[in-house]
Amino acid sequence: MKKLIAILTVVGLAGTGAMAQGFEIGARAGVNLSQVRGDGSGSDGGFWDSGETRTTGFTGGLYTRFGNKVFLQPEFIISQKGGTTTGLLGGERDFKQTYFDVPVLVGVKAGEVVRIQAGPVATFLINEDETFFQNIGLTEKEEGFRKAILGYQLGVGFDISKFRLDMRYEGNINDVFNIDYDNDQTRDQFAGKGNLWFLTLGYAF
């Protein structure tokens, strides 16, 4: 947790020094398509879904923007993310979690409408799908999903009057699961990282 906060702080301070004057605050909401991918094979050779299945979820919250041509954009977002597993007793298992995301993006404007942005995102689990872990046989002693994940976002945005349209990709650096087994091979079988695409429409107050 301390490492996540430190990284976000350093990025924020670095971006502030490069910006011109300017401030904006607004809200945005939309939909995301998420999945978990990994090389792990699970208990029977097919834990993570090998197809292109993605879970649909809501994403939305507040953003702030400091700067004009070069800007810093911290955000405070609630987001649903999930995935699909296969091979457990011959069936599929879906799961969806609710996270609190804090992206800190640095961007540049290409003209008056188009902007490009990228940066780290700290993701904090606030609602865990316990049923999913009960179904795959994890005990109450296991933490299950990781409580805090470090990731990154990059994408393009369009500013039209006071409306803000964003299309982004998000990837994880940490595994979604935080399962502590004595056997490293067994733990590695469940290793998987989340990724998602999302589209949001925002409004600047």
Tell me the C-alpha distance between 79 and 66, whole Å: 23
What's the pLDDT score for residue 140?
56
Cα distance from N-terminal residue to C-terminal residue, the chain: 32
**Of how many residues is the chain composed?**
205
| DSSP summary character for residue 204 | E
Look at strands 148-160 and 70-88 and give their pairing: unpaired
As a whole number of angstroms, the longest Cα–Cα distance in the chain is 58
Work out the number of other CB atoms within 10 angstroms of the CB of residue 50. 11
DSSP state string for 114-133: EEEEEEEEEEEEEE--HHHH
Tell me the pLDDT band of 11, cut-offs 50, 70 and 90. very low
Cβ atoms of residues 51 and 83 within 8 Å: no
What tens digit of pLDDT does each residue of 182-193 get? 666 666 667 788
Tell me the C-alpha distance between 98 and 95, whole Å: 10
pTM, two decimals, is 0.81
What domains appear along the chain, each with residue ranges and CATH number? 2-204 (2.40.160.20)
Tell me the C-alpha distance between 12 and 26, whole Å: 19
Tell me the C-alpha distance between 47 and 92, whole Å: 9
In whole numbers, what is the pLDDT of the chain averaged over residues?
Answer: 81
What tens digit of pLDDT does each residue of 149-183 get? 999 999 999 999 999 999 999 999 988 887 666 66
What tens digit of pLDDT does each residue of 80-112 get? 998 877 655 556 778 889 999 999 999 999 988
Strands (E), the chain: 23-37, 55-67, 70-88, 91-110, 114-127, 148-160, 163-172, 193-204
Using alpha carbons only, how large is the chain's radius of gyration in Å?
Answer: 18
* 129 has a pLDDT exceeding 90: no
* Residue listed under structure tokens 């430190």: 6
Tell me the pLDDT band of 71, cut-offs 50, 70 and 90. very high
